[in-house]
Amino acid sequence: MAIADTFPRTREEGPVAPVYGLKPEVDGLAELYAWVDEIAALTQPERVHWVDGSRAENDALLREMVAEGKLIKLNPEWRPGSYLARSHPSDVARTEARTFIASEKAIDAGPTNNWAEPAEMRETLQGVFAGSMRGRTMYVVPFSMGPVGGPLSHIGVQVTDSAYAVASIGIMTRVGAGVLREIAAGKHWVKTVHSVGAPLAPGEQDVEWPCNDEKYIVHFPETLEVWSYGSGYGGNAILAKKCFALRIASVIGRDEGWLAEHMLLIRVIDPAGRAYHVAAAFPSACGKTNLAMLRPTIPGWRVETLGDDIAWLRPGEDGRLWAINPEAGFFGVAPGTGESTNVTAVETLWGNTIFTNVALRPDGDVWWEGLTDEPPAELTDWEGKPWTPASGRPAAHPNSRFTVSAAQCPQIAGDWDAPQGVPLDVILFGGRRATNVPLVVEATDWTHGVFLGSTISSERTAAAEGTVGELRRDPFAMLPFCGYNMADYFGHWIEVGQKLRFDRAPRIYQVNWFRKGSDGRFLWPGFGDNARVIDWIIRRIDGEVPAVDSPIGRLPRPQDLDLDGTDVTQADLDELFAVDPVSWLREADLTEEFYAKFDGRIPAALQTELASLRYRLQRA
Ligand code: OXD
Ligand code: MN
């Protein structure tokens, strides 16, 4: 089969030739060329387009998608350079049930992952990928996670038959020639292959959102490869994000002594100008982006954004834990993002944004639930159907998204893409818990903090398929994202702690903004007021205030939380910090049940933490 390496023609053939898409002729890329040829021979695209990451190329791709009906150009008067994509109604979230870890041994995937036998899975993938790109363009996208050439950065290449994925990767990562130079210089690169699984017969009309009912999101941890088939949505298609920067990177981190985490990253600056770096792990759609863009309600405090979803953490020679955000953009959940909840995000989205599955206004702008308090009188919903407030269904899909460059965030830190990252002072673990879990609990030491991280549970949200509201264990908010056995991952966390200087390691806290009172009302105002919790944490790490011991960890004294200007009552505070030994012993039983799934592989240090927790609760 002949494959045109250049699109649509070589320069010599005529004036219509673009300056992008051509195969780069760089010494040292033989392995990359051979791999691209191999994937093209398997998937049989009509043409191969090498993505150079240029503005001209991006503009042309977007224009092409608009012409094909795959994107709607928004009214530039309201939203310059911005587009709306509507997915197929069956392809709206990460498909965890179809996400596999194909490690040589099942035990290395562990009980929380779907394991697939690698040789069998390769055979299956060869079957579904055969001819899967027929009639389409195969794009080759070299990308870097972290600044190109940075000491904590890693590179990869994604081949994909989705122009939407190319445009999204262009926002979420650093794409282009610099990465090819790194490959040519011999740096290891991760291979990622993506097809929407919708080949076109000659002359067949394409659809708005090609995808396939059969889906595979497969990771090969031994060879550091990702193969994704059948979905064009988010983490299923932007393979640099969850597949590479979390699942594959967690494996690289295990082997190299660092951590790939589902964490936001911020710099908090106190009224005296002192800066503290905080990383926080929350399950999907639990307010990470809101906390990443916090505007504190306490006077004099400021927050600078460094990242909203992923952080790579590496012990430095100075005994501190250094962190980078490996991404270059935000792929945020739109519903619930509004003037009153996250004005920074709203300002970030002024233009140059790709929206997916939000509603369209008659004036050519977008809308989603929570953007404004009052919905517009009429809209076109995410499925393209007419909508009014009386329709009785959401106008935007609950997992609708925006994709926007981090640099557009008005409170982005000036050094957000510094290659060496920032030294961490604080790590937060959180979840969405209506009961039991206090507003904030301080871990007594690193191992206790790892225990807290390993026991996180949260009510399900719309970010993945499943029943919204159901409680599920989500240790370290990494349940769907850890590329190896989570018991080993807990052990790895303990080992990383041992590489840190005890007085320089970040302090660990568990937080819960979502506790409800006996009357069903949220007890804590959340959002900008979460800075009040961070203020207490910072005073703790500076040794300015004592804390109160409880069976589950250290709690604030009520008088140490700055509540000026809130309407949180003493009764609310009592409920926010109540620790009921009986329900906590039940939580301990659930932890034991969860740990038992790992067949004796849970680190002894964590079993000891569980036993001590029970001991303290029984005596409370
Ligand atoms: C995300 C997720 O998209 O966690 O960030 O689902
Ligand atoms: Mn996430």
Quick check: 80 pLDDT over 80? yes
Domain that holds residue 350: 330-408
C-alpha of residue 575 to centroid of ligand 2, in Å: 30
CATH number of domain containing 352 = 2.170.8.10
Three-state secondary structure call for residue 267 = strand
Least confident of 9-13, 186-190, 264-268: 9-13
Nearest CA, atom 1, ligand 1: 284
Closest atom, ligand 1, to C-alpha of 93? 6
C-alpha of residue 215 to centroid of ligand 1, in Å: 18
Q: Report yes or no: 440 and 511 within 8 Å, Cβ to Cβ.
A: yes
Residue 35 lies in a domain: yes
Picking from 257, 272, 304, the residue at the C-terminal end of a domain is 257
Q: Report yes or no: 207 and 162 within 8 Å, Cβ to Cβ.
A: no
- Neighbour tally for 346: CB within 10 Å: 17
Burial code of 104-117, b = ≥16 C-beta within 10 A, e = fewer? Answer: eeebbbbbbbebbe
Picking from 257, 291, 306, the residue at the C-terminal end of a domain is 257
C-alpha of residue 61 to centroid of ligand 2, in Å: 27
- Write down the pLDDT at residue 460: 73
From CA 446, how far away is CA 460, in angstroms rounded?
28
Q: Does 331 sit in the ligand 1 pocket, CB within 6 Å?
A: yes
The CA-CA-CA angle for residues 223, 111, 221, to 5°, reads 5
Q: Does 284 sit in the ligand 1 pocket, CB within 6 Å?
A: yes
Q: Does 235 sit in the ligand 1 pocket, CB within 6 Å?
A: yes
Verify that 253 and 264 share a domain, yes or no. Answer: no
Extended beta strands in 357-395, E state:
359-360, 366-367, 379-380, 386-387
From CA 306, how far away is CA 417, in angstroms rounded?
8
Q: Report yes or no: 85 and 210 within 8 Å, Cβ to Cβ.
A: no
Verify that 308 and 367 share a domain, yes or no. Answer: no
Verify that 446 and 481 share a domain, yes or no. Answer: yes
Quick check: 7 pLDDT over 60? no
pLDDT in tens, 236-253: 999 999 999 999 999 999
Quick check: 287 pLDDT over 90? no
Residue 88 lies in a domain: no
Could you list the active site residues?
Answer: 286
CATH number of domain containing 311 = 3.90.228.20
* Nearest ligand to the CA atom of 95: 1
Quick check: 16 pLDDT over 60? no
Quick check: 15 pLDDT over 60? no
The pairing of beta strand 189-195 with beta strand 154-160: parallel
From CA 351, how far away is CA 514, in angstroms rounded?
32
pLDDT in tens, 418-446: 999 999 999 999 999 999 999 999 999 99
Write down the pTM of the prediction: 0.94
Mutate to test the pocket of ligand 1, among 87, 171, 246, 331 (most ligand atoms within 8 A of CB): 331
Mean predicted confidence (pLDDT) in 354-361: 98
Closest atom, ligand 1, to C-alpha of 262? 4
Quick check: 10 pLDDT over 50? no
Residue 38 lies in a domain: yes
Residue 611 lies in a domain: yes
- Write down the pLDDT at residue 63: 96
pLDDT in tens, 586-615: 999 999 999 999 999 999 999 999 999 999
Residue 75 lies in a domain: no
Verify that 155 and 240 share a domain, yes or no. Answer: yes
- pLDDT exceeding 70 applies to what percent of the chain? 95
CATH number of domain containing 167 = 3.40.449.10
- Would you call the peptide bond into 362 cis, given omega within 30 degrees of 0 as the criterion? no
Verify that 394 and 529 share a domain, yes or no. Answer: no
- pLDDT exceeding 90 applies to what percent of the chain? 91
Least confident of 171-175, 343-347, 386-390, 514-518: 514-518
Q: Does 234 sit in the ligand 1 pocket, CB within 6 Å?
A: yes
Residue 353 lies in a domain: yes
Picking from 233, 257, 281, the residue at the C-terminal end of a domain is 257
Domain count along the chain: 3
- Write down the pLDDT at residue 216: 98
Residue 84 lies in a domain: no
Verify that 482 and 606 share a domain, yes or no. Answer: yes
Q: Does 168 sit in the ligand 1 pocket, CB within 6 Å?
A: no
Quick check: 20 pLDDT over 80? no
Q: Does 309 sit in the ligand 1 pocket, CB within 6 Å?
A: yes
C-alpha of residue 371 to centroid of ligand 2, in Å: 20
Q: Does 307 sit in the ligand 1 pocket, CB within 6 Å?
A: no
C-alpha of residue 364 to centroid of ligand 2, in Å: 29
Q: Report yes or no: 143 and 158 within 8 Å, Cβ to Cβ.
A: yes
Residue 86 lies in a domain: no
CA distances from 137 to 57, 142, 161, 201, 209 (A): 14, 16, 6, 13, 15
Nearest CA, atom 4, ligand 1: 284
Mean predicted confidence (pLDDT) in 555-569: 96
